[in-house]
Structure 1
Amino acid sequence: MYDTPTLERYAEVLFWALSRARTSAYKKSDIILVNYDIDGLPLAEEVCSLLYDKGMIPVPRMNETPRMQVDKYRKANNKRLTTLIPGQRDLYNHLNGSISIYAPASLGHLADIDPELIAMHGKAQQPLRSIMQTREDMGTFSWTLCMYPTQALAAQAGLTLEEYGHQIEKACYLNKPEPTRAWRQFAHKVDELTEWLDSFGDCTMHVESESVDLNVKIGQRRKWVGFTGRNIPSFEMYVSPDMRHTNGVYKSTLPTFRSGNIIGDIQLIFKEGRVTKVTAEHNQGFVEKQLNQDPGAALVGEFALVDKRFSPISKFMANTLYDENHGGEHGSMHIALGNSYSNTFSGETEQLTENTRKTLGFNTSALHWDLVNTEEKRVIAISPTGKRTTIYEKGIFTL
């Protein structure tokens, strides 16, 4: 799909992003896990080569193929789905970084699998996620992920493989001679924007568009987060709002793809934080199951805005990594149902205990489902004193 110079630039961007995502500098002989789908092998090879050049120790690991995944859920019993492979904990306790390359050969192969089985297997991996979170909090681990174009992705998005690959190339700045320099310049702008957004404090964000009339309360001890390096690309400015005070109507206008199901036009009605009514263009039952899987699944865990000046993504990409960063004609926003991000807490990480999360309204759930709206909109910050400031209009921040 890409020539060698483009793959080399992609690998450089990924290592730069991995380094930005970590609070302490990488050093020689650090261990980096490289997860990749088989169609992403060309990029995985280039990433491993670069890691060797930088004195790291890459651990390449190919993900399950679509057939392997289907067989796992159809043939394994509950014990096998919830068993951690011996050695996994030890590996994760020694990792210093992780680069994941998403390049699916199929998107719909899990559509007929019981979502509860998928959720069961996912929950069983929580100890590994906890290890990574602890090491990340210690400053000894960071992660990033990216996408590599495949025919399955292009077909689901209604694009040719070449068109899909071009969207990725533009979005990751791979069409520039020095993509990491372009990312550094963008990151500087992001830092200015998040500082400005933080200045509004515990306000209520009121969103108005053709199909959205929503109030989202930001909450106390919050900070806005922009480019962290954890995703390539990433153009969103996001915060985890107070889950208890979302009210109004929200509608996703980009289709969403989840567990082999593609769903369009999901409308949510919120009252005092919780979804009280949901309708979907199709797969209504699947949507309802997602929202009922635990007490936090029907509450908001993220509120985000994307400025069209920064994001060159203009097509539906059938993948959340890109769709939540949609630029297009009007920019975009998204809310995520489910789990909140702890990195939007303004205090020290260790202070965000379970009790503090509840007190401040940080949501907890196994779900984190981004739902994107691409309509022209206005976002108004309403202070506790009633002062109204338009912060986002016609696809751009007003700073």
Structure 2
Amino acid sequence: MFDTLTLEKYADVIIWGLQKGRSKAFAKSDFILVNYDHEALPLAEEVCAQLHDRGLIPIHRALPTPRMEYDRYTKANNKRLSTLTPGDKDLYNHLNGSISLIAPSSLTHLASIDPELLNLVQKSRHPLRQIMNTREQMGSFGWTLCMYPTQALAAQAGLSLEEYARQIKLACYLDDGTPTHKWRLLAKQIEALREELTSLGNCTLRVESDSVDLLLKVGERRIWAGLTGRNLPSFELYVSPDYRTVEGVYTSNLPSFRSGNIISDVRLEFKQGRVTAMQAAHSEAFVVKQLNLDEGAARVGEFALVDKRFSRISAFMANTLYDENHGGTWGSMHIALGNAYNNTLAGDVTAYDEELRRSLGFNSSILHWDLVNTERKRVTAILKDGTRKTIYEDGEFTL
């Protein structure tokens, strides 16, 4: 799908993102896990080669095929589904980084699987996520993920494979002679915006569009985040708000795929920080189950805005990584139901125990589900002194 030069550029950008996602520099012989779908093998090979060139140790691991995944859920009992592979905890305790290359051969093969089984597996991997989170907070672990074009993705997005690949090249600036340099320059621009947003403090945000009328407070002890290197491409500026303050109506007008289900036109009503009413054009029963995964699943864990001047993504891509970074005509926004992001807490995140997080309205859940709106909109910040300031309009930040 990509020629040799493009693969080399892409791998270089991915490793730049991995390094940016860490607070400490990599040391020689650090272990980097490279998870990849089999269709991304050409990119996985190049990534591993460049990791070796940098003195790091890649641990390559092919992800299960669609049949392997389907057979697991239909043939294994609950005990086997929830059993961690021997050695995984030890591996994760020694990992210094993780790269995931997403290239699915199917997006719908798990559509018939009981969501409770999917949730069982997700919950069983919580100990591994805890290890990664702890190591990340210590500065000894970083991660990133990216996409590789496949026919399955292109078909669900309604694009040709060639156009889908072109969207990836544009989004990651792989058509540029030195894309990593381009990402460094972009990171400086986003950092300047991030600092301005953070300087607004615990303001109230009012979001208005044809189908959105939402109020929320940023929250105490919050900072905005952007272009952390964890997702490539990434153009969003985001914060984990005080979930208790979310009020109003939010509609996601861009479809999303989750666990083999396509979900579209989700309309949510919030009162006192919780979803109190929901409608969806497709897979409404699935959405209900997602909202009931745990106590925090029906609360907001993230609020994000994307500036169309940064993002060259102009098509529906049938994958959240790209769709949550949609640029297009009017930019985009998204909220995420479920878990909040630690990197939006100010200061040393290890100082925030569960009691303190709860007191700050910082949400916790096994769910994190991004729901995207691409309509023309205005976002107004209402500052503590009552001053109103438009911070985003017609797809661009106005700071």
* TM-score of the aligned structures, taking structure 1 as reference length: 0.99
Match runs of 1:82-161 below 5 Å: 82-161=82-161
Contact 1:37-1:62 within 8 A present in 2 as well: yes
Post-superposition shift, 1:386? 1.6
The equivalent of 1:22 in structure 2 is 22
Q: Which amino acid aligns with 2:312?
A: P
Cα distance, 1:199 vs structure 2? 1.2
- Counterpart of 2:200 in structure 1 is 200
Find the aligned partners of 2:243 and 2:345 in 1 and give their Cα distance: 14
Q: How does 1:118-267 map to 2 (within 5 A)?
A: 118-267=118-267
Letter in 1 for 2:262: I
Equivalent in the alignment of 2:392:
392
- Alignment RMSD (CA, Å): 0.7
SS in 1 for 2:119: helix
How far, CA to CA, are the matches of 2:344 and 2:23 in structure 1? 16
TM-score (norm 2): 0.99
Q: Which residue of 1 aligns with 2:352?
A: 352
Off by >2 Å, runs of 4+ in structure 1: none
SS at match of 1:243: strand
Tell me the residue number matched to 1:285: 285
- Contact between 1:342 and 1:352, CA under 8 Å: does it hold in 2? no
Retained in 2: the 8 A contact 1:194–1:226?
A: yes
Q: Which runs of 5+ in 1 are unaligned?
A: none
Q: 2 CA distance for matches of 1:90 and 1:288?
A: 36
Match of 1:56 in 2: 56
Tell me the equivalent position of 1:307: 307
Shift of 1:384: 2.5
Q: CA deviation at 1:385?
A: 2.5
In structure 1, distance between residues paired with 2:62 and 2:86: 17
Share of identical aligned residues, percent?
65
Separation (CA, whole Å) in 1 of partners of 2:97 and 2:366: 23
Match for residue 318 of structure 1? 318
Could you say what secondary structure the match of 2:40 adopts? helix
Unaligned regions of 5+ residues in structure 2, if any?
A: none
| Local SS of the residue matching 2:224 | coil
Q: How does 1:67-82 map to 2 (within 5 A)?
A: 67-82=67-82
Residue 134 of structure 1: how far off its partner (Å): 1.2
Give the structure 2 partner of residue 341 of structure 1. Answer: 341
The whole-number CA distance in structure 2 between the counterparts of 1:106 and 1:116 is 21
Separation (CA, whole Å) in 2 of partners of 1:292 and 1:136: 29
- Once the two structures are superposed, residues 3-23 of structure 1 have per-residue CA deviations (whole angstroms, 9 ceiling, x without a partner) of 000000000001111111111
Q: 2: CA distance between counterparts of 1:87 and 1:288?
A: 36
**One-letter amino acid of the counterpart of residue 339, structure 1:** N
C-alpha distance in structure 2 between counterparts of 1:362 and 1:176, whole Å: 39
Distance 1:32 1:231 in 2: 16
For residue 282 of structure 1, report the CA deviation from its aligned partner.
1.9
Output the amino acid matched with 1:93. Answer: N
Aligned residue-pair number: 399
